[in-house]
Amino acid sequence: MTIIPQEVMGTFHEVGRDLYTLGLVSSHGGNLSIRSGMGMWVTGTGTMLGRLRERHIAFVNPDGSHQGPPPSSDTLLHSTIYALTGAGAIAHAHPHHGIALSFDTDLFVPLDLEGQLHLKQVPVIEQGVVQVEQIAAALQNHLVVLLRGHGAYARGATLWEALHWITALEESAHIAWLRR
């Protein structure tokens, strides 16, 4: 069994709890990962982000093998994002207002000052067979992207930074929704 560093586990626990408490994931939705050398720590498939424990975190090696629970179904996407960006961590959540806006646009441009300052624009990627490549490519130049009708993926130097971009997106999307 691989021992998860306490700092990594603490970050997973707190960020997962924040996403759940803020209503940005359902009881078993979303996933998180932190790059570790050439591998990554990633939440297991179907885990409850609001109640993460060591038994819910997998370590995925560069060859795709893993220790711990079966890793998230988004593990290939996380690996691809790490390969194409300088990200140190990735968060995937289901922000309600962001998802609602994703049905009507291919590029969300925040109306609020914070969103304009930090996010600038948020690409909306169509679900399909090339979504992994498209999401990872978009995250080379953007902090967060939306997958139409599904959710958001954010990259950061840390998991805290990725959480920041998810929450900033939802705040901007909520403001845009209210302006409608």
Does some domain include residue 90?
Answer: yes
- Residue 2 is predicted with a pLDDT of 73
What is the sign, positive or negative, of the torsion defined by CA atoms of 114, 119, 164, 157?
negative
When pLDDT is averaged across residues 22-29 and rounded to a whole number, the result is 96
Closest C-alpha among 93, 110, 118, 114 to residue 177: 110
Residue 1 lies in a domain: no
Task: Tell me how far apart the terminal alpha carbons of the chain are, to the nearest angstrom.
Answer: 51
Nearest to 126, CA basis, from 143, 150, 153: 150
Sort strands 57-60 and 66-67 into parallel, antiparallel or unpaired. antiparallel
Residue 28 lies in a domain: yes
Residue 146, domain CATH: 3.40.225.10
Average pLDDT over residues 102-123: 97
Q: Report the C-alpha gap between 143 and 138 in whole angstroms.
A: 9
Q: pLDDT by residue (tens digit) across 81-103?
A: 999 999 999 999 999 999 999 99
pLDDT, tens digit, for every residue of 28-53? 999 999 999 999 999 999 999 999 99
- Does 70 fall in a domain? yes
Q: Residue 16: inside a domain, yes or no?
A: yes
Residue 1 has pLDDT above 90, yes or no: no
pLDDT in tens, 56-68: 999 999 999 999 9
Q: Which structural domain range is residue 134 located in?
A: 6-179
| 169, part of any domain | yes
Question: From CA 169, how far away is CA 121, in angstroms rounded?
Answer: 10
Token pair, residue 68, equals 């711990």
pLDDT, residue 112, reads 97
pLDDT digits (tens, 9 = 90+) for 132-161: 999 999 999 999 999 999 999 999 999 999
Nearest Cα neighbor of 15 from 114, 91, 121 is 91
Domain count, the chain: 1
Question: Is 138 a domain residue?
Answer: yes
Residue 135 belongs to a domain: yes
Look at residue 65 in the predicted model and tell me its pLDDT. Answer: 96
